[in-house]
Structure 1
Amino acid sequence: MGKTAEKPEFAWLSDPEVFAVNTLPAHSDHQYFLNEAEAERGRSSLKQSLNGSWRLAWSKSPELRNRRFYQMGFDESGMDTVEVPSNLEVLGYGQPQYVNIQYPWDGSEETGLKTPLRDNPVACYVKHFTLDKGLSDKQVILSFQGVATAMYVWLNGTFVGYSEDSFTPSEFDVTDCLQEGDNKLAVEVFKYSSASYLEDQDFWRLSGIFRDVDLYAIPLAHIQDLRVASTLENDYREGKLTVQYQAAGQADQVLLRLYDLDGQIYDSQANDFAKSGTFVMDHLPVKAWSSEQPVLYKAELVLEDSGRVLEVVPLKLGFRTFEIKNRLMLLNGKRIVFKGINRHEFDCRRGRAVTEEDMLWDINFLKQHNINAVRTSHYPNQSRWYELCDQYGIYLIDEVNLESHGSWNKLTKVEPSWNVPGSKPEWLENVMFRANNMFQRDKNHPAILIWSLGNESYAGDDLAKMGEFFKKNDPDRVVHYEGVTWNRDYDFITEVESRMYAKPKEIEEYLTNNPPKPFISCEYAHAMGNSTGGLQLYTALEKYPQYQGGFIWDYLDQGLLTKNSQGQEYLAYGGDFDDRPNDGEFCGNGIVFADRTPSPKARAVKELYSNLKMTINKEGITIKNDNLFVDTSGYDFVLTLLCDGRPVAEYQYNLNIVAQDKQNLPLPKSPKLTGELVWHLDARLKEDQPWASSGFVVASAEYLVPETRVKKQASADLPDFRIINGDFNLGVWANGVKALFSKDKGGLISLKYGDRELIKQKPRLTFWRALTDNDRGAGYGFDMAMWENAGKFAKQTDFKLELTETGARISYDFLLPVGKDLQVKVAYTVDRTGTIGVKAVFPGAAGLPGLPEFGLELALPHDFNHFAYYGKGPEENYLDRQAGSFLGIWTSSAAENVARYLRPQETGNREGLRKLAIYDRQGSGVVFSAAAKPFSGSVLPYSTAQLEAADHWFDLPDSEYTWVKLLAAQMGVGGDDSWGAPVHDEYLLPSSKSYELNFTISPFLHQLA
């Protein structure tokens, strides 16, 4: 393991066998108090926080640091002041660098552990403190909860110790180093060490003291370590509690008290004091813990001496049993499905120094979006996170701080010639230390169901020994490791078949061939940029018992808030800090934006992850309760009938459907109405929950009635109708509408209602969307490049005017510059009421790449920047991402319609548009209405070309127009992965098919009729 030393050695930084000098053994993260009053308040007189202002001297390399800073009497007047916890780079010290697989020094330093790192920033911290009275005359422990990456520690000039492993506590006994009055704590933090080869996680490379620093005093008698097993027995009907403890000091006895849910003592036991002991309570009439019902019981260990309380250790117990039986993972005897997500600890302002406020926001978001599980990618999180997951009910895969991706995966090729840890003996103790650190700290949290050995570190004997450690020490949980997929000789390491970014068909192939293990996708549905399309193809696999869910990559965009050269604040990605090398915007994979605002992707996740599966069709309503343990009595089911998007009737149901059962209901008889009818069903919380208020909608469904009675257009008196056939232009006047069509510029160049000009740029054919991150990753920019300028440079080949009984028809033919004789037709009809019909037809052409989209794009005046629509909403949705979007009348604005993905790209689309009204503050404007079938489209302050050209949002110009897209169709956004996975075939637009866009244009009359 580590070493004991009297003085620090610089060589430790590059020695994988030195990772802990003078550190105390890892132990459970239990709290302890001097008495029951302190325990009730949750504030201990035995703990002193050292968070707050620290002095700092930062150097860009070891040679530039002042090595005497830790000495007593050192002049600190030239040092800066910083807050701890924090990451140094976000405070302006050094350079944030985002890399994914590659090591941050690739190309600047030798890789393969050949030389020590030279370009290695160093932070010299100093904290002065006076020991609190409650800690005096006791053994005192100095505890660092998280420091990146390697640190040397001195107290009052005396060397205390050295530690690596950024994400678990490093603790030192400093009793003999303390003095009366002022104490000087000095910490030297190196950004890189040999540990950095094990911490090659896909994140910003940030350093510093980023978690809490505390002093703890040890009372006269003390519980040093606890092992709590609160399981179920007797067919999961009763609870069993086993508490093992290690104690120090002197006392008479150890008491264990267990309280019922009313706060009354249910059982109490006493042991004579000894250095170790065990309590067992069985046949307990408890309620089981689960994500659906996170029931926690209170217990406490009390050390007493002659009736005097010396220490109180409060416990929160969740009784549950997790196991694999018959090749299925079972929670309390029921097959579990993880509706999970991967989560980095991150904040756009503070880096990885996240607060409890951040964590609570995250917990509430997860619960509100039906996410029941988190993988702590790729390191142990703060202890408070586990407490909140116990309390709110979030299942956890707890992951060892280990990833060495860049040591074996090079330019997408598997090349493990020097991978770490592999089977290398010099790394074995190091990774076992990390595994033990996580296990000992976190072992008592009921939320943890699975231990993960780390991430993307290939395979080898060292990982196998880590797996053996967890299986031996915790048979009540499951061991997970995905990396064996690269070397099946080590398949025995993992108890589940875990894969990353396997396609639905690949997963189905495994599930239908007598699979030996249950299956999870530890990473899937790569949510980079405008993504998460096709998620329904994965959740549909839940029909196979051994498909037990997955964990979306990932929760939160890792964008760092900074300013550009013009002083504009923005969320930065790799390269924005001149960090080289970098992996660009690949850090933007979240269903939540970096500033903790939800992205539109989250709606689909919420709907598809819901445990209430509701469907409506002409036969009636079916509600299936996929919960494992709770019935539906906690929900109000509200059925609404909408006519043309407006509610006209409402019905409420109180249903008690037991877990894993379903109920069918007939649809009420709908009133006789003229218009499009939709039945919409919501499941709403009846009562307030810790994570949402009563009335919160947890799941929805809708049904479009096919026998819809369409409104007949009222016959109108035909007012004056004029056609002015000029040499270059054709004018049509009708009912106060003035339309001007160019004979040589290919379309409608002016549209006036009264004297107000609406057309800023004429409708132009569009076949191209601003590439999404997934489009770029799949190579669609190369494959479909011909379509980018197909509309821009389409050549008009014909113009025709035809007079009809009701008005005029103006048609254009366009030849597309795509290497073959492909003509597209666009026709306008103007009737005597002033309504303009538009029809654009793509005839289909074999042998060409698929189309990103087909339709028209035009510009309206800037102040026409509000819109209302009858279609799928309320947020953007796409051909392959419509779950969670429902028919209704929704409102927004051009600015609000922009989803701020880290890099500008396609955004703002709506499917199923029946009507789209765009208007100014006074409510005057234009409405586009579907003439045959619904269309899709968007309203934005930017054109496709502007979005395509921008690398950042600040690259975009101030909005001069409101840009409108009206589309026959747009291909899906995809989401299996972002580095090659295509959009699924059913959501593509083959060029061999024909596409038709058909709508009308008319004045907006202040409401969607």
Structure 2
Amino acid sequence: MSFDFSKLSDPCYFAENRLPAHSDHRYYRDETELARGISSFERTLGGVWQFAYARNIDAIPQGFTAADYDCHDWETIHVPAHIQMEGHGVPHYTNTTYPWDGHESIVPGEIPTRENPIGCYVKYFAVPEDWDNVFISFAGVDAALALYLNGHFVGYSEDSCTPSDFDLTPYLVSGENKLAAMVFRYASASWLEDQDFWRFSGIYRDVTLYTKPQHHIEDVAVRAVPMERDGYSNAQLDVHLTFDDAAEKNVEILLCDEDGDCIWEDEASISAKTHTFSGDAFVVLLWSAECPVLYHLLIRVRDAAGTLQEVVRIRVGFREFCLRDGLMQINGKRIVFKGVNRHEFDCDHGRAMDPALFEQDLIALKRANVNAIRTSHYPNSSRLYELADLYGFYVIDETNLETHGSWMRNGACEKDANSLPGDHAEWLPAVLDRAQSMYERDKNHPCILIWSCGNESCGGRNIYEMSEFFRRADPTRLVHYEGIFWDRSYPMSSDMESQMYTKAADIEAFLKEHRDKPFIACEYTHAMGNSCGGMHKYTELAEREPLYQGGFIWDFGDQAIRRRGRDGEEVFLYGGDFGDRPSDYNFSGNGIFFADRRATAKLQEVKYNYQDFTLRPAWNGVEIENKSLFSDADDYELRMTLLLDGRKIWETRWMGHSVAPGETKFIDTVPYKMPYLGAGEYVLTASLCLRYEELWAPAGYEIAFGQAVVVPPAGAAARLFDVLGLCDAAPCCVPLAACGDLRIVVSDINLGVQGAGFSLMFSSAQGNLVSYRYGGRELIEELPQPSFWRAPTDNDYGCHAPADTAQWKLASLYRRCTQIAWSTDDEPLTVIDGYFGKAGTGERRAARVTVRFTYALATHPAAHCTVTYTVDAAGAVDVALDYEPTDGMPAMPDFAMLFTLAADYDRIRYYGYGPKENYADRHRGARLGIYESTAAEEVEPYLRPQETGNHGGVRWIELRDRSGHGLRLTGAEPMEASALPYGPHELENARHAYDLPRSAHTYLRASAGMCGVGGDDSWGAPVLTEYTHPNAARHLRFTMQGI
């Protein structure tokens, strides 16, 4: 028998000879093997395989599956791996559009014929002599697999993300066996796998040969539920076993805690294919994301003679998850999902992930206070669920189903007869098969609270039937589906209202009218590029609206592929960079982590918004609001740090601050007296830190903080305290020589201002300040310029903000000086007539000189601004930028002064909010202090260069070279500032980081405030109005001083 290629386009044909799905438990020959974690019943086939690449079916090497067709001399490929990541074909990124769109015109079920790459795999192997039966498991093959052994057709399988097991026993020969597989990039199943990700193909998860003992447990189904009627103090355990035979066997079962102490056991002699063990009324600790307590279920199977056949161990977590009183509850408490969507992706290997990354990812998320993961949009590797059980994450397990491109076109819902899966009866078996395969494999993991019917597949009866399957199979979990938002014909398909990218205000309005279901945002805070602005609107809503039970950020990490550039440098490539069309380009760059798993600045905000404790420090104590469900504040160490003008002067730590879950308490019995050292800005930070080492972080790791500018009590007097020896030197502005009057040189074209060790020059020809020398060094490389523009963010592009505000880009590039006025000391400003010396040249002395430039900006209608410089005898220059509104102008992206210094001035020190960049709508996770950095370090490496490096609340910022000389800007009031190796236009012009020019300057910017970065979505949602700057009067004041 051979494979019938015509079946590839039959949606009813999705499996042949594939074994039934089963739980993902492992089994061992004895407890010695169990302790080592290595089973002699298994053998991996991962490694090097023979390989041939065919462009389409017609190009497949004829007869290669035959036993006598020698493939030893073929090229080789690694397994697991994607074919495209191994150099055959190219990766292809597209969001909703099917990858064949524009190449071949086909309808659902049909497959491309001209371009349907097939991977022809061959593996030669021998099996151990004592294996009486042999099976094979493919954990993940994209998109369809036809399997042969020794020339015999074994079977076929679809569903790229759940295992495909086959019985090889009938086709084995002694000695060397030849396994041959055809892996098709496209089959009818491809219509069901239109996720927003890179489109790969190949054997990308593990391949395992295995044998079974004489008596074998095929499937384990565990139900571990605490009893609500007993206040969750007792629990019930049901363990349903399915065997591969009905012969007599003896089974022992033990439930042990983490210390190995047995808390329940049972034994039975079984002569059937199924048996259920049940136990109740034993006391257990409950599993939750906060306290992920696991027990070990140990099962021993012996034959009738008492010979041990196999040993199975399964982790068990006791927890109740249900809808009660209209709310989703975990162990009797209202749950709030502080979640992240996570694609399974590795920048070096695609979805064939390095196994170490699973644990690395979950540790990083745990440290960021994330408590939930949605497996967008397919079942992940089993390792993910094992670790989620262990580390404590609530999981929405999502069926491998997305048909976005069959019903949505250019962002609009366009349902028609080709929309899938809809009510099409021919697609229902495949849809249900995917649900069952996921359920059977994953059902024993306590981390999974919700089964999801897939993603963005509109609605219809097929989705409803899938939801009913989950309810019948598992009444201990809930069912989720977001697509009912687009098709309300079967609203009962989802137990909760689930929407994506709905604004927080609109969610609140929706819930005022619809109170029949709890609400989650299955995707929100679209983290594309410089984003996540306004995230706090959602987390604050969850605190005041019980029906809103949280959401899942889109998403975990940028999907970009790491390569080497032309000069050997590391580069990250996105859609379109491989010549792949159609493509959605950098739309895959939506992560709170970069593709190489470095944290983005966005994570600073996520961690703060997701923290379970709110701390509000004050001079006489700290208020702690405990938003956790099961943890007392006293489980953590409380630390306090005091800054004076940004310098740490004191810190302490203590225990004994009990605040129960759900309580808010002011801790006013703290064992300290705050030091008062006279006038200045006092900033108090309170933190909760781990008392003890956890799996995911060391003792002392901070899990929550709060910060406030505190005011000393009235009448406080300076006292001596044993303050920390950690104080930074306060910024000072000491002139190079004793201050005296300024020497003012009025020449024809230029106005010179000279003081003790410094000088400035203003040019009537240039209409600008052209020189500021301090200590013999020129600090201004190019003319200072008003800047009203920023390098557009991905969110800016998505809502067409660059087009709407483009006049401000012109205004930043082009301006004409229309007036110059100047004066000394307290004299009124005098407008010059063309050039400085027209009314006479000469020198004079003064304590202060002021020069004002008025600019007509290249806008329509014409707008104007003024820049005023006031120089004092110490070399300090007060700078004022002013704008009065001109009717018809759009909102202003930024309002700043931009100074260009030599690239050597790249060492940054500032007193403001840091350490990572922050913006008007994304600053709550930043904290006030003195920070040091470099211009290069301030650039966040977004996939597409864009606005970056901004800091709010800046009191002062300074740039220095290696010798310590440079320039400092001090705000008249807290301002925004940045220092970067690129200007906004250079950032804007680059599509990739490698497109940026070699840095020749450092750009120092002081701003009265740019607009926020937004993040409700990246394809239409503008920055929230409260974080924008409409056409109105704006003013900026700061002092410039050489160092």
Match of 1:206 in 2: 200
**1:753–1:1003 contact (8 Å) kept in structure 2:** yes
Question: After alignment, is 722-731 or 280-289 more displaced?
Answer: 722-731
> 1:946 and 2:993 equivalent?
no
Q: What displacement does 1:712 show? A: 12
Match of 2:189 in 1: 195
Match of 1:500 in 2: 500
**2:969–2:1040 contact (8 Å) kept in structure 1:** yes
Tell me which amino acid in the other structure corresponds to 2:1023. V
Q: Please show how residues 630-645 of structure 1 align to structure 2 within 5 Å.
A: 630-645=631-646
Question: After alignment, is 341-350 or 655-664 more displaced?
Answer: 655-664
Instruction: Tell me how far apart the structure 2 counterparts of residues 694 and 741 of structure 1 sit (CA, whole Å).
Output: 58
Q: What displacement does 1:744 show? A: 2.7
Instruction: Tell me how far apart the structure 1 counterparts of residues 131 and 541 of structure 2 sit (CA, whole Å).
Output: 61
Aligned partner of residue 216 in structure 2, secondary structure: strand
Question: After alignment, is 545-554 or 300-309 more displaced?
Answer: 300-309
Q: What displacement does 1:347 show? A: 0.5
Q: Please show how residues 418-429 of structure 1 align to structure 2 within 5 Å.
A: 418-429=418-429
Closer, same or farther: CA 63–412 of 1 in aligned 2, 3 Å: same
Aligned partner of residue 490 in structure 2, secondary structure: helix
Q: What displacement does 1:35 show? A: 1.2
Instruction: Tell me how far apart the structure 2 counterparts of residues 579 and 474 of structure 1 sit (CA, whole Å).
Output: 42
Deviation digits for residues 392-428 of structure 1 (CA, Å, limit 9, x no counterpart): 0011000000000000001122112111111101101
**1:908–1:940 contact (8 Å) kept in structure 2:** yes
Tell me which amino acid in the other structure corresponds to 1:138. D
Q: What displacement does 1:185 show? A: 1.1
Q: What displacement does 1:717 show? A: 5.2
Q: What displacement does 1:114 show? A: 7.0
Instruction: Tell me how far apart the structure 2 counterparts of residues 795 and 855 of structure 1 sit (CA, whole Å).
Output: 17
Q: What displacement does 1:106 show? A: 0.6
Question: After alignment, is 51-60 or 628-637 more displaced?
Answer: 628-637
Instruction: Tell me how far apart the structure 1 counterparts of residues 524 and 366 of structure 2 sit (CA, whole Å).
Output: 20
Tell me which amino acid in the other structure corresponds to 1:109. E
Q: What displacement does 1:117 show? A: 1.0
State the superposition RMSD in angstroms: 1.8
Aligned partner of residue 888 in structure 1, secondary structure: strand
**2:870–2:877 contact (8 Å) kept in structure 1:** yes
**2:263–2:282 contact (8 Å) kept in structure 1:** no
Q: What displacement does 1:885 show? A: 0.3
Instruction: Tell me how far apart the structure 2 counterparts of residues 382 and 782 of structure 1 sit (CA, whole Å).
Output: 43
Aligned partner of residue 632 in structure 2, secondary structure: coil
Question: After alignment, is 429-438 or 793-802 more displaced?
Answer: 793-802
Match of 2:256 in 1: 259
Aligned partner of residue 176 in structure 1, secondary structure: helix
Aligned partner of residue 899 in structure 1, secondary structure: coil
Closer, same or farther: CA 266–436 of 1 in aligned 2, 3 Å: same
> 1:221 and 2:221 equivalent?
no
Tell me which amino acid in the other structure corresponds to 1:82. I
Q: What displacement does 1:620 show? A: 4.7
Instruction: Tell me how far apart the structure 2 counterparts of residues 794 and 554 of structure 1 sit (CA, whole Å).
Output: 42
Match of 1:587 in 2: 588
Match of 1:575 in 2: 576
**1:770–1:905 contact (8 Å) kept in structure 2:** yes
Give 5+ residue unaligned stretches, structure 1: 1-5, 1005-1009
Deviation digits for residues 234-292 of structure 1 (CA, Å, limit 9, x no counterpart): 22111111000111244431111111332122221112222100011101110000001
**2:733–2:1041 contact (8 Å) kept in structure 1:** no
**2:18–2:166 contact (8 Å) kept in structure 1:** yes
> 1:97 and 2:137 equivalent?
no
Tell me which amino acid in the other structure corresponds to 2:864. Q
Tell me which amino acid in the other structure corresponds to 2:1040. I
Aligned partner of residue 947 in structure 2, secondary structure: coil
* % identity of equivalent residues: 43
Match of 1:26 in 2: 21
Q: Please show how residues 239-318 of structure 1 align to structure 2 within 5 Å.
A: 239-249=235-245, 250-273=247-270, 274-305=272-303, 306-318=305-317
Runs of 4+ displaced beyond 6 Å:
707-716
Q: What displacement does 1:947 show? A: 0.6
Match of 1:127 in 2: 123
Q: 2:900 aligns with which of 852, 859, 862?
A: 859
Q: What displacement does 1:739 show? A: 1.4
Aligned partner of residue 260 in structure 2, secondary structure: coil
Match of 2:953 in 1: 912
Q: 2:919 aligns with which of 866, 869, 878?
A: 878
Tell me which amino acid in the other structure corresponds to 1:382. S
Match of 1:463 in 2: 463
Tell me which amino acid in the other structure corresponds to 2:124. H
Match of 1:549 in 2: 550
Q: What displacement does 1:566 show? A: 5.0
Q: What displacement does 1:488 show? A: 1.1
**1:48–1:132 contact (8 Å) kept in structure 2:** no
Q: What displacement does 1:619 show? A: 7.5
**1:674–1:711 contact (8 Å) kept in structure 2:** no
**1:634–1:687 contact (8 Å) kept in structure 2:** no
> 1:891 and 2:896 equivalent?
no
Give 5+ residue unaligned stretches, structure 2: 717-729, 826-845
Deviation digits for residues 532-583 of structure 1 (CA, Å, limit 9, x no counterpart): 0000111111111111100000001000112445554311111100111100
**2:50–2:72 contact (8 Å) kept in structure 1:** no
Aligned partner of residue 520 in structure 1, secondary structure: strand
Q: What displacement does 1:837 show? A: 1.3
**2:250–2:306 contact (8 Å) kept in structure 1:** no
Match of 2:708 in 1: 703
> 1:843 and 2:884 equivalent?
yes
Q: What displacement does 1:512 show? A: 2.5
Instruction: Tell me how far apart the structure 1 counterparts of residues 509 and 621 of structure 2 sit (CA, whole Å).
Output: 34
- Give the length in aligned residue pairs: 995
Question: After alignment, is 743-752 or 473-482 more displaced?
Answer: 743-752
Tell me which amino acid in the other structure corresponds to 1:74. Y
Instruction: Tell me how far apart the structure 2 counterparts of residues 601 and 916 of structure 1 sit (CA, whole Å).
Output: 22
Instruction: Tell me how far apart the structure 2 counterparts of residues 920 and 67 of structure 1 sit (CA, whole Å).
Output: 68
Question: After alignment, is 193-202 or 812-821 more displaced?
Answer: 812-821
Deviation digits for residues 849-876 of structure 1 (CA, Å, limit 9, x no counterpart): 1000011112111111110110000010
Instruction: Tell me how far apart the structure 1 counterparts of residues 731 and 310 of structure 2 sit (CA, whole Å).
Output: 77
Instruction: Tell me how far apart the structure 1 counterparts of residues 1024 and 904 of structure 2 sit (CA, whole Å).
Output: 39
Match of 2:562 in 1: 561
Closer, same or farther: CA 568–355 of 1 in aligned 2, 3 Å: closer
Instruction: Tell me how far apart the structure 2 counterparts of residues 539 and 113 of structure 1 sit (CA, whole Å).
Output: 40
Instruction: Tell me how far apart the structure 2 counterparts of residues 514 and 431 of structure 1 sit (CA, whole Å).
Output: 30
Instruction: Tell me how far apart the structure 2 counterparts of residues 707 and 351 of structure 1 sit (CA, whole Å).
Output: 56
**1:643–1:673 contact (8 Å) kept in structure 2:** no
Match of 2:739 in 1: 718
Instruction: Tell me how far apart the structure 2 counterparts of residues 821 and 724 of structure 1 sit (CA, whole Å).
Output: 34
Q: 1:238 aligns with which of 230, 234, 237?
A: 234
Tell me which amino acid in the other structure corresponds to 1:176. P
Question: After alignment, is 438-447 or 701-710 more displaced?
Answer: 701-710
**1:766–1:791 contact (8 Å) kept in structure 2:** yes
**1:112–1:407 contact (8 Å) kept in structure 2:** no
Instruction: Tell me how far apart the structure 1 counterparts of residues 885 and 637 of structure 2 sit (CA, whole Å).
Output: 49
Closer, same or farther: CA 669–137 of 1 in aligned 2, 3 Å: closer
Match of 2:1009 in 1: 969
Match of 1:3 in 2: none
Q: Please show how residues 135-174 of structure 1 align to structure 2 within 5 Å.
A: 136-174=130-168
Deviation digits for residues 134-164 of structure 1 (CA, Å, limit 9, x no counterpart): xx33221100000000111111221111111
Aligned partner of residue 221 in structure 1, secondary structure: coil
**1:251–1:303 contact (8 Å) kept in structure 2:** no
Q: 1:868 aligns with which of 905, 909, 921?
A: 909
Instruction: Tell me how far apart the structure 1 counterparts of residues 386 and 937 of structure 2 sit (CA, whole Å).
Output: 36
> 1:333 and 2:374 equivalent?
no
TM-score normalised by length of structure 1:
0.97
Tell me which amino acid in the other structure corresponds to 1:944. P
